[in-house]
Amino acid sequence: MRPRPLATLAATASLAVLAVTAAAPAVAGDRPQDPPAGNKAVEVQLLAFNDFHGALEPPSGSGGRVTLADGSVVDAGGLTYFATHLRQLEAQNRQTLTISNGDLIGGSPFLSALFRDEPTIDAMDRLGLDVAAVGNHEFDEGVDELQRIIDGRACHPVDGCLDGTGYNGSDADWLAANVVDRETDAPILPPYEVYRFKGVPLGVIGLTLDETPSIVSAEGIADVRFEDEVETINRYVAELRADGVEAIVVSLHEGGVAGGGINACEDPTGPAFDIANAVDDAVDVILTGHYHNGFVCQGEDEIDGKLVTQALSNGRLITDIDLSLDKRTGDVVAASAENVVVTRDVRPDRKAQELVERYSRLAEPIANVPVGEITEDVVRAQEPLVGSLLGESPLGNLIADAQLAATDDEAGAVAAFMNPGGVRADLLYASSEAGEGDGVVTYGEAFEVQPFNNLLTTLDLTGEQLYALLNQQFEVGRVLAPSDSVRYAVAADGSSVVPGSLSIGGEAVAPGETYRITVNNFLAGGGDGFTVLTEGTDVVNQPGFDVDALQAYLSEDPVSAPETDRITVTG
């Protein structure tokens, strides 16, 4: 039996109206080791995952594998197996809350993305997802589309109801504590929910990273602002505690990295850990995401007395958290967690399989249409450039070449640049199970590479601005894939582009000259921190989507993987 939320609470809501009987507040951070004698604790189970990204089918490549503690590697993920493991874990405790820690949708493979991620929401409703905190990818198509996904008030405004059955929205409680409407100063979604377990309340605060505006298209989020994570968490912790809630979980779509394996926590670094150290000690558990890392920080490895976890991505892990809640005080008196691998050696869940097969049948006529050919694998993995900074990838370069080819004659472009985070899958030479043949690229395969439906934007930059753009790479820690018309050198210390080294079409770029370049509209809006692009002039959005340019390029002649020799390092 799942717990029922007490209410959907707006930023100023009070639990007093719910007649919760509150014990005297404990000192912040006070966590007794054992409940008082004769006061039996309530055992609660949280089942958490993050960055599912619409991975309904078993993910391929490294995104579908998990490295175990002994160094062995197992295949993992896929909705049918995820559902089976989730059901098995739920059976251990009827007092269970299932939580997605952001990026449930967005950046999805073809099967979910083709239907605007409605299949993933449908799947999660069938699995009984209780809580969904927003991540950055929930805003890929803007606030209005996120509200449509949640409310189900209409079919997609452009595509309509692609599966022919309408769309009813999500049954989960969606949380966005730090995403605030600029006009009303109120969160666009509830900041938290409170759930009762045998009379004991547990609060869940949900939020995303405050840097979301730098990694999604600006147009869709123009009416909201993303507030500081620590300040937001502490504000709602105070509100919850004032209303008698002592057990507090934060679902945070921000991440970090820790070593030692998926159930260890060696040398934890990153913003999620900084946040854990800074927030109120009354927070008991912080569930994280965004970095696609796997760790469990507990016991001696707790972060400032808080249990902190993350579960890779693509539904490869489920974090099983066990909490003991003191029935008298409402405190968490014990907490432990384990990342459980979603192995593929279990019986696939029948209802989940039916859902996947249904959407696969609908998508098949589109997905399996051949759009071009490749002569070898073209991978998205970036090669080291200098220090820890990654540089070019064959597939990133190929996409930049395709975008230039789509806009040189049409818009006068002389160069193109592609953001590496927008390249979501490899192009593999071997035939898929659809049997299209070796080297044949299908629409579905191309779509998985570029699933965001970005527009191609062509704009003017001066040579001086181009140097500034490329130097921003070293500030934001991301290197743009350049088209084959571009060449430049990077200083040996990785600090800047070597002055005078940048050329386009074999000619040195002059600071005072104007150059017409193509990027996607995400980058054109300053995405990934490339704010120089917002200074461009004579901005024109091309018809069609970025994936259309890729398909057109692949359709000309069989394509080989481009060399990664467009950026060099001096010294």
Residue 295 pLDDT greater than 80, yes or no: yes
Residue 230 CB neighbours (<10 A):
17
Per the CB < 8 A criterion, the answer to whether 397 and 482 are in contact is yes
Distance CA 527, CA 533 (A): 9
Residue 553 CB neighbours (<10 A):
21
- Lowest-confidence segment of 37-51, 281-295, 548-562 by average pLDDT: 37-51
Distance CA 120, CA 122 (A): 5
Residue 457 pLDDT greater than 80, yes or no: yes
- Lowest-confidence segment of 266-275, 409-418, 533-542 by average pLDDT: 533-542
Residue 291 pLDDT greater than 60, yes or no: yes
- For the segment 109-120, the average pLDDT, to the nearest whole number, is 91
487 pLDDT band, cuts 50/70/90, is very high
267 pLDDT band, cuts 50/70/90, is very high
Residue 492 pLDDT greater than 60, yes or no: yes
Contacts of 535 (CB under 8 A, 6+ apart): 461, 465
What pLDDT does 26 receive? Answer: 30
The arrangement of strands across the sheet holding 537-541 comes to 481-482, 415-418, 514-520, 456-462, 537-541
434 pLDDT band, cuts 50/70/90, is confident
162 pLDDT band, cuts 50/70/90, is low
255 class by beta-carbon count within 10 Å (0-12 exposed, 13-18 middle, 19+ buried)? buried
- Which residues make beta-bridge pairs with 457? 519, 541
What pLDDT does 378 receive? Answer: 97
3-state helix, strand, coil in the chain (%, to 5): 30, 30, 45
State the average pLDDT for the chain. Answer: 90
Residue 363 in tokens: 């998508």
Q: Alpha carbon of 57 to those of 60, 66, 336: distances in Å? A: 9, 16, 30
Q: Where are the beta strands (DSSP E) in 424-490?
A: 440-442, 456-462, 481-482, 486-490
What pLDDT does 62 receive? Answer: 78
Residue 34 pLDDT greater than 60, yes or no: no
Distance CA 287, CA 254 (A): 9
DSSP label at 529? G
495 class by beta-carbon count within 10 Å (0-12 exposed, 13-18 middle, 19+ buried)? exposed
What pLDDT does 7 receive? Answer: 34
**3-state SS, one letter per residue, for 114-144:** CCCCHHHHHHHHHHCCCEEECCHHHHCCHHH
- For the segment 232-236, the average pLDDT, to the nearest whole number, is 98
Residue 175 pLDDT greater than 50, yes or no: yes
Q: Which residue has the tokens 């967005």?
A: 106
Q: Nearest to residue 304, comparing CAs of 46, 33, 29?
A: 29
- For the segment 31-38, the average pLDDT, to the nearest whole number, is 46
Q: Alpha carbon of 236 to those of 10, 243, 301, 363, 461: distances in Å? A: 10, 11, 26, 43, 44
Distance CA 131, CA 118 (A): 17
Distance CA 478, CA 472 (A): 9
Per the CB < 8 A criterion, the answer to whether 383 and 393 are in contact is yes
Residue 410 pLDDT greater than 90, yes or no: no
What pLDDT does 38 receive? Answer: 55
Residue 445 pLDDT greater than 70, yes or no: yes
pLDDT tens string 70-84? 899 999 999 999 999
What pLDDT does 192 receive? Answer: 98
Name the 3-class secondary structure at 261: coil
Residue 129 in tokens: 């997802």
Q: Which residue has the tokens 């913003």?
A: 271
Distance CA 352, CA 87 (A): 12
Q: Which residue has the tokens 């100023």?
A: 12
User: What's the predicted TM-score (pTM) here?
Assistant: 0.78
Distance CA 180, CA 163 (A): 33
Q: Alpha carbon of 539 to those of 460, 462, 524: distances in Å? A: 7, 14, 9
Contacts of 72 (CB under 8 A, 6+ apart): none
pLDDT tens string 506-518? 999 999 999 999 9
What pLDDT does 69 receive? Answer: 87
Contacts of 114 (CB under 8 A, 6+ apart): 162, 363, 366, 367, 444, 447
What pLDDT does 9 receive? Answer: 31
DSSP label at 187? B
Phi-psi region of 255 (alpha: psi -120 to 50; beta: other; left: phi over 0): beta
Distance CA 445, CA 265 (A): 36
Residues of the chain with pLDDT > 70, as a percent, come to 92
- Lowest-confidence segment of 44-53, 242-251, 443-452 by average pLDDT: 443-452
- For the segment 258-262, the average pLDDT, to the nearest whole number, is 94
Per the CB < 8 A criterion, the answer to whether 18 and 6 are in contact is yes
pLDDT tens string 317-339? 999 999 999 999 999 999 999 99
Largest CA distance in the chain: 82
Q: Nearest to residue 362, comparing CAs of 109, 111, 116, 121?
A: 111
Per the CB < 8 A criterion, the answer to whether 532 and 472 are in contact is yes
> Which domains occur in the chain, in start order?
5-11+41-341 (3.60.21.10), 373-569 (3.90.780.10)
- Lowest-confidence segment of 161-165, 329-333, 540-544 by average pLDDT: 161-165
Residue 2 CB neighbours (<10 A):
13
Q: Which residue has the higher pLDDT, 19 or 196?
A: 196
- Lowest-confidence segment of 203-207, 469-473, 504-508, 524-528 by average pLDDT: 524-528
- For the segment 174-183, the average pLDDT, to the nearest whole number, is 98
Q: Nearest to residue 81, comparing CAs of 106, 103, 56, 60?
A: 56
Give residue 390's identity as a one-letter amino acid code: L
Q: Which residue has the higher pLDDT, 530 or 218?
A: 530
39 pLDDT band, cuts 50/70/90, is low
Per the CB < 8 A criterion, the answer to whether 356 and 111 are in contact is yes
